[in-house]
Amino acid sequence: MAVQSSSCLTVLSVLDLNEEDARKSLRFLRSSYGPNHGVITRQDRDQIPEVLKLIGGRTSYLSRVARAEDMLEEAKNMVEVEKNWMLSKVGMTGQETDDDVMDDQKWSSCTWLLMKEFVKIREEAKEEAEKTGQPFDETETPKMSYYKARQVMTRGDFMPQLDHINIISIDVNHHVRPDSMITYQAGKLVVEEEGFDDLLDETRDRVDEIEGLHRQSELTVKEPFKINISGGSLWSWLWPGKTKTIEVEGLGASFVPAEKDEGKK
């Protein structure tokens, strides 16, 4: 409905500040609302570039770190909290995944495929900027087209859900990017952890295994067994005064007395 309405309106996307504007804003906020009351210390000036790399140019985050006693420590804590929140939403369980949570793990593994691609895109852009000598905006989050994101995730229907819980952001130009620099940095911490690729492969293999099992039908065949019928039993009218043994071989075998069966041979 929003997309249909936007075709009749002029839609403006409110993006995070670029690096230069974010630096000026953080200096102003720090001097106005910081603990030193109008004074920018040498430690503050040294920390600003590192802080911007972690939190980007979102004004709400800039305002929060500007009021902290230690800006860099507060920025690192915000990234760590974001990382734990992401893992609580889309954490992977690997080879031990239960079949009851297959859909959840399918969503989680596709999400981390997308976050891994974001990390790759930004690292490649940073290397390219260093080679060519072009400036690199440390506050800009990586982006890709909606179409490419569908290819990376292999499930395009998952993206609206990720947008809804603020893990990714989809703009009016159909570009997909992490919701914020903090989200990107949190995802990068997970992607660069030792064993991440193995966990991702194990989770995806387990999902494929469970899906394969759901597409199969199981046929159970019981072991052959024998039935002894003695005189005076319910079936003794067939063979009065005798004890008979009926051999049943597998499912669907007929109840044929052993003696009669041998006579046919």
pLDDT given at position 178: 96
pLDDT score, position 36: 84
Q: What is the pTM of this model?
A: 0.77
Place of tokens 């044929």: 256
pLDDT at 225: 56
Asked if residues 29 and 66 have their Cβ atoms less than 8 Å apart, the reply is yes
Please give the pLDDT value at position 253.
45
Please give the full DSSP string across 90-131, using - where no structure is assigned: H---GGG--GGGHHHHHHHHHHHHHHHHHHHHHHHHHHHHHH
pLDDT on residue 219: 58
Q: Quick one: 252 exposed, middle or buried, by C-beta within 10 A (0-12, 13-18, 19+)?
A: exposed
Residue 18 near residue 140, CB atoms below 8 Å? yes
155 against 191, higher pLDDT: 191
Query: Quick one: which of 258, 118, 115, 135 has its CA closest to 196?
Result: 115
- The domain ranges of the chain are 12-214, 225-264
Q: What is the mean pLDDT of residues 91-105?
A: 83
Angle at 76 between CA 75 and CA 77, to 5 degrees: 90
Please write the tens of the pLDDT for every residue from 197-240. 999 999 999 888 887 776 666 656 555 555 555 544 555 555 55
Amino acid 40: pLDDT = 87
Grade residue 246 by pLDDT with cuts at 50, 70 and 90: low
**Adjacent-strand bridge partners of 145:** 175
Between 129 and 104, whose confidence is greater?
129
